[in-house]
Amino acid sequence: MATETTAADAAHGAAQAGTCVNDVGSAIGMPQLCVDWMPNQVFWLVVSLVVIFFVLSRIALPRIGGVLAERLGTITNDLAAAEELKQKAVAAEQAYNDALAAAKVEANKIVADAKAEIQKQLDAATAKADVEIAARTAESEARISEIRAGALEAVTEVAKDTAKEIVAAFGGKADARSVTSAVTARLKG
């Protein structure tokens, strides 16, 4: 009987400790698989699942859905704003290109006007220079004519003096009139 008492005590101690015991009084494998505790475990499993379902469906999932909807709205708004900014950038680029083309046309017009003004000033300066050159040329030609005339007179005088000296060196006497006519005839050609 001692063994029966010991087995009964072991079963009673195991029951208080929460382990499942078989008919012989020995503990069996995993307590989660104990058939005696199965209804209790199933009850708490169902309660836990229902609580989790209500927490997820009433609190967590609506918040997650709200965050996702907010993100989707933000993304959609950002894409719309980006498209609007892209359109503005295209319009700004077009305005820039138009302004650049207008500036090029204006610059070409200014350059053409400046060239025309410079050409006009150049023509006026050229005409003035041509007048000055013509006046100086006429003055120079008059001076050259004077110098030629003076040189011709000087050559004539030198020729007359030289002819008198040569005639005198040969022992002759030359009158001024015959020397002048001889020199004049020789200078003519």
- State if pTM tops 0.75: no
Placement of tokens 């003035």 in the chain: 128
Name which of 37, 20, 18 is nearest 29 in CA terms. Answer: 20
Tell me the C-alpha to C-alpha distance, in Å, between residue 120 and each of 112, 123, 125, 134: 12, 5, 9, 21
Name which of 177, 143, 138, 182 is nearest 159 in CA terms. Answer: 182
- Residue-wise pLDDT tens digits, 89-108: 999 999 999 999 999 999 99
**Do residues 9 and 2 touch, judged by C-beta distance below 8 A?**
no
- Residue-wise pLDDT tens digits, 43-61: 999 999 999 999 999 999 9
Q: What is the DSSP letter of 21?
A: B
The predicted structure's pLDDT at residue 1: 46
Whether residue 186 is predicted with pLDDT greater than 60 in this model: the reply is yes
Phi, psi of 21 (to 5 degrees): -120, 145
CA 76 to chain centre: 32
The predicted structure's pLDDT at residue 89: 96
**Do residues 160 and 179 touch, judged by C-beta distance below 8 A?**
yes
- Residue-wise pLDDT tens digits, 123-165: 999 999 999 999 999 999 999 988 888 887 888 888 878 888 8
